């Protein structure tokens, strides 16, 4: 039971027959156009955004790797130059020799040192300056030679060399040689240098010699100013201190700053990569900070493209669907409007351009049907109405004639009875009988009132029974049971009285000792029931069959013209809706039952 209810509920939900065409088109548009386009573009945007973001992150990472490799190449070039100087035996002899006269040194300098010094600086673009510090007092400290004084030994770059036996290159930040007596470079206030002890020939070393190759900072800045990274670049040493930065607000001449102390904005993405060089830069890192706006700028551009594309798809599809839907809805609505006019007997045809689609064919068929109905109404229906009107007029005239047959017959018998009793007895109670007769006679003359209430009909019956009681005396006894709910019901005039008259005149009158008449009128479930029963002489089977045949074939009932009139009137008014039942037999009395349908409130149907 529950399963069938669920199935019926699902059928009602998915039954589209009760949904209007406009709503159906809206469902089609929503499920087949709007949602697919929106969902497709959302997925497309998500995939595109993720790919663009991933590509942008890869581009930034590759740019950092490129900076890293170029920076490494510059340092490797400087280290290579330092190795040449480090292993040059001739240079080592010139630097280790003691010169008595400055001219001797100048001769040695010009013969070899000047040549090799000038041969490397133009070739390697990363090399800004090459200088050798040593404590040999016989050399002139100029032209690439510097005196290794105690003041120099206090500098940071010297301290990074470590003990005397160390000969590995050291990468250090140092003041530029050409700006020692002036303010530091405003753009980058320190330079990077490769510093190395020249102790390759340990056996012949008399003096401490330090090679200092200064890198060209313009080249370093170009490396770290990669256009693919629109952000800030930080070069960190092994202790996490900032050795170099593209941030113009940072002062490179002051003490090194800890990178951890630099605030990282919430909308910034951080990229880190290690500097892949030799052990002299072990633990150094290259860090890039890029704003999310720069990373997602292309993502937003793709989002705008997706939004415009989705809007264009929705606009075009919406215009097409609205255009088609409007064409269908207007024409179908026009057909429905003219159908409603036909329901109210306005047979107007649809005036619009003839089209070849299904709606156009439906319109043409509707116009032809409307014209045919209009023709049939005028040619057939109106003629049939006139014919039926004439038939109703004839039946009404016949009904009035039948009603008029009751009164003379009944009045003749009643007046004859009163006359005979008055002649024989001369009793005063005759006045009451005459009064009852006057009421009956007055009612029979009222032709403009075809319907009366049950109470009024019962009053006529009581008048008649009192007259018959006056006539028969103790030979007639009657009992009435009237349902109060039935008293207000409207019924045709004089439809019960003829049966009461037959019970008295034809059933009881011929009995030697008289008889009883029982009358009952009740209202049950909208049906008015009339029942009359007497214990008179009854009727033969042939007479009872006449009543049954008259119900079907309208045969004559002989002298029972009043009963025939009642049955005929009931058939005209109620057709097959009223029920008539007769039970009778010789010496067994007669029972008649009539059932008449009533409207709510007691009026007849």
Whether residue 4 lies inside any domain: the answer is no
| 235 close to 284: Cβ distance less than 8 angstroms | yes
Instruction: Measure Cα distances from 397 to 383, 403, 445 in Å.
Output: 21, 10, 16
Kindly state the helix (H) or strand (E) to which residue 104 belongs, with its residue range.
helix 102-108
| 496 close to 505: Cβ distance less than 8 angstroms | no
Q: What single DSSP character describes residue 349?
A: P
More confident residue, 344 or 577: 577
Query: Band of the pLDDT at 293, cuts 50, 70, 90?
Result: confident
Whether residue 355 lies inside any domain: the answer is no
Q: Both 398 and 265 in a single domain?
A: no
| 507 close to 583: Cβ distance less than 8 angstroms | no
Query: Band of the pLDDT at 411, cuts 50, 70, 90?
Result: low
Q: What single DSSP character describes residue 448?
A: T
pLDDT of residue 400: 61
Quote the CA–CA distance of 182 and 176 in Å, as a whole number. Answer: 10
Q: Is the pLDDT of residue 481 over 90?
A: yes
Among the listed ranges 200-214, 270-284, 353-367, which one has the minimum average pLDDT value? 270-284
- Spatial neighbors of 495 by CB under 8 A, at least 6 apart, are 457, 566, 569, 570, 594
Residue 234 structural domain: 55-295
Query: Band of the pLDDT at 185, cuts 50, 70, 90?
Result: very low
In percent, the amount of the chain with pLDDT more than 70 equals 76
pLDDT of residue 192: 85
Query: Band of the pLDDT at 110, cuts 50, 70, 90?
Result: confident
- Spatial neighbors of 11 by CB under 8 A, at least 6 apart, are none
A 10 A CB-CB count for 16 gives 9
Q: Both 130 and 271 in a single domain?
A: yes
Across 227-234, average pLDDT: 75
3-class SS shares of the chain: helix, strand, coil, % to 5: 55, 15, 25
Whether residue 284 lies inside any domain: the answer is yes
Tell me the sheet residues that pair with 515.
Answer: 476
Q: Both 267 and 138 in a single domain?
A: yes
Across 479-487, average pLDDT: 92
pLDDT of residue 325: 76
Across 580-596, average pLDDT: 89
Question: Around 278, how many Cα atoms within 13 Å sit in the side-chain half-sphere?
Answer: 14
Quote the CA–CA distance of 529 and 415 in Å, as a whole number. Answer: 31
Quote the CA–CA distance of 139 and 217 in Å, as a whole number. Answer: 29
- Dihedrals φ, ψ of 43, to 5°? -65, -45
pLDDT of residue 556: 53
Per-residue b/e over 519-532, b at no fewer than 16 CB within 10 Å? bbbebeeeebbbbb
Q: Which of 269, 295, 321 is the last residue of a domain?
A: 295
Whether residue 325 lies inside any domain: the answer is no
More confident residue, 552 or 447: 552
For the stretch 76-102, pLDDT in tens is: 888 888 888 888 888 888 888 888 888
Query: Band of the pLDDT at 183, cuts 50, 70, 90?
Result: very low
Query: Band of the pLDDT at 522, cuts 50, 70, 90?
Result: very high
| 171 close to 79: Cβ distance less than 8 angstroms | no
Across 182-193, average pLDDT: 55
More confident residue, 250 or 36: 36
Q: Mean of the per-residue pLDDT values for the chain?
A: 77
Q: How many helices and strands in the chain, by DSSP H and E?
A: 18, 17
More confident residue, 477 or 393: 477
Across 468-485, average pLDDT: 87
Query: Band of the pLDDT at 186, cuts 50, 70, 90?
Result: very low
Across 3-29, average pLDDT: 66
Quote the CA–CA distance of 486 and 128 in Å, as a whole number. Answer: 130
What is the domain count for the chain? 2
| 292 close to 269: Cβ distance less than 8 angstroms | yes
| SS3 (DSSP) at 296 | coil
Whether residue 184 lies inside any domain: the answer is yes
More confident residue, 521 or 399: 521
Using only C-alpha atoms, the chain has a radius of gyration, in whole angstroms, of 65
Q: Which of 265, 295, 325 is the last residue of a domain?
A: 295
| 605 close to 595: Cβ distance less than 8 angstroms | no
Please work out, in degrees rounded to the nearest 5, the angle formed at the alpha carbon of residue 38 by the alpha carbons of 32 and 44.
Answer: 120
Query: Band of the pLDDT at 184, cuts 50, 70, 90?
Result: very low
More confident residue, 535 or 217: 535
More confident residue, 430 or 133: 133
Q: Which two tokens stand for residue 540?
A: 């033969």
**What is the spatial order of strands in the sheet that 515-524 belongs to?**
476-482, 515-524, 527-534, 590-597, 579-584
Q: Is the pLDDT of residue 508 over 60?
A: yes
Whether residue 328 lies inside any domain: the answer is no
Whether residue 440 lies inside any domain: the answer is yes
pTM for the full predicted model: 0.47
| 136 close to 96: Cβ distance less than 8 angstroms | yes
Q: Which of 295, 311, 340 is the last residue of a domain?
A: 295
Task: Name the nearest CA neighbour of 37 among 321, 317, 274, 387.
Answer: 317
Residue 477's CATH number: 3.30.565.10
| 471 close to 513: Cβ distance less than 8 angstroms | no
More confident residue, 416 or 301: 301
Quote the CA–CA distance of 33 and 18 in Å, as a whole number. Answer: 23
Q: How far is CA 55 from the centre of its chain?
A: 37
For the stretch 147-175, pLDDT in tens is: 888 888 888 888 888 776 677 888 888 77
Query: Band of the pLDDT at 595, cuts 50, 70, 90?
Result: very high
More confident residue, 385 or 63: 63
Among the listed ranges 190-194, 361-365, 412-416, which one has the minimum average pLDDT value? 412-416
Q: Both 291 and 408 in a single domain?
A: no
Q: How far is CA 418 from the centre of its chain?
A: 90
Q: Both 575 and 438 in a single domain?
A: yes
- Dihedrals φ, ψ of 132, to 5°? -115, 125
For the stretch 447-462, pLDDT in tens is: 556 788 999 889 888 8
Q: Both 414 and 281 in a single domain?
A: no
pLDDT of residue 561: 61
Q: Is the pLDDT of residue 573 over 80?
A: yes
Whether residue 542 lies inside any domain: the answer is yes
pLDDT of residue 592: 92
């Amino acid at each position: 039971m529950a399963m069938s209810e669920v199935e019926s509920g699902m059928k009602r939900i998915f039954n589209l027959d009760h949904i209007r065409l406009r709503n159906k088109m809206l469902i089609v548009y929503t499920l087949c156009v709007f949602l697919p386009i929106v969902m497709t573009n959302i997925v497309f945007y998500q995939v595109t955004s993720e790919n663009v973001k991933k590509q942008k992150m890869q581009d930034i990472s590759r740019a950092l790797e490129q900076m890293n490799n170029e920076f490494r190449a510059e340092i490797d070039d400087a280290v290579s130059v330092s190795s040449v100087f480090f292993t040059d035996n001739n240079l080592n002899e010139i630097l280790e020799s003691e010169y008595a006269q400055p001219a001797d040194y100048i001769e040695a300098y010009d013969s070899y040192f000047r040549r090799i010094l000038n041969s490397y600086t133009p070739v390697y673009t990363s090399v800004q300056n090459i200088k050798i510090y040593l404590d040999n007092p016989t050399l002139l400290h100029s032209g690439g030679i510097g005196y290794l004084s105690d003041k120099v030994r206090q500098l940071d770059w010297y301290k990074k060399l470590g003990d005397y036996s160390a000969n590995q290159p050291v990468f250090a930040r140092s003041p530029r040689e050409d700006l020692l007596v002036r303010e530091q470079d405003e753009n980058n206030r320190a330079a990077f240098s490769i510093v190395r002890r020249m102790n390759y020939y340990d056996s012949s070393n008399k003096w401490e010699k330090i090679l200092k190759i200064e890198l060209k900072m313009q080249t370093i800045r170009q490396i770290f100013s990669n256009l693919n990274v629109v952000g800030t670049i930080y070069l960190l040493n092994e202790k996490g201190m900032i050795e170099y930065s593209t941030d113009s607000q940072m002062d490179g001449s002051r003490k090194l700053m800890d990178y951890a102390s630099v605030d990282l904005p919430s909308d910034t993405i951080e990229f880190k990569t290690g500097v892949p060089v030799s052990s002299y830069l072990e633990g150094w890192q290259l860090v890039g900070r890029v704003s999310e706006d720069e990373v997602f700028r292309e993502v937003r551009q793709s989002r705008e493209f997706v939004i415009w594309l989705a809007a264009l798809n929705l606009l075009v599809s919406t215009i097409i669907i609205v255009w088609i839907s409007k064409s269908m809805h207007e024409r179908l609505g026009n057909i429905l409007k003219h159908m409603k006019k036909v329901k109210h007997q306005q047979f107007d045809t649809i005036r619009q351009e003839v089209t070849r689609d299904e709606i156009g064919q439906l319109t043409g068929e509707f116009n032809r049907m409307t014209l045919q109905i209009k023709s049939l109404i005028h040619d057939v229906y109106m003629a049939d109405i006139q014919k039926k009107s004439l038939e109703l007029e004839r039946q009404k005239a016949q009904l009035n004639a039948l009603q008029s047959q009751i009164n003379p017959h009944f009045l003749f018998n009643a007046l004859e009875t009163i006359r005979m009793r008055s002649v024989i007895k001369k009793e005063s109670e005759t006045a009451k009988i005459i009064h009852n007769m006057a009421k009956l006679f007055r009612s029979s003359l009222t032709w403009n009132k075809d319907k009366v209430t049950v109470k009024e009909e019962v009053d006529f019956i009581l008048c008649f029974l009192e007259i018959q009681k006056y006539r028969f005396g103790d030979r007639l006894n009657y009992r009435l049971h009237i349902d109060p709910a039935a008293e207000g019901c409207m019924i045709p005039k004089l439809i019960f009285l003829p049966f009461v008259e037959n019970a008295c005149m034809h059933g009881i009158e011929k009995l030697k000792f008289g008889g009883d008449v029982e009358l009952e009128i009740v209202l049950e479930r909208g049906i008015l029931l009339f029942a009359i029963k007497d214990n008179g002489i009854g009727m033969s089977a042939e007479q009872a069959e006449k009543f049954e045949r008259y119900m079907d074939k309208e045969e004559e009932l002989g002298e029972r013209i009043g009963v025939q009139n009642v049955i005929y009137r009931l058939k005209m008014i109620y057709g097959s809706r009223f029920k008539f039942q007769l039970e009778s037999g010789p010496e067994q009395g007669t029972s008649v039952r009539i059932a008449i349908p009533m409207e709510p409130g007691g009026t007849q149907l």
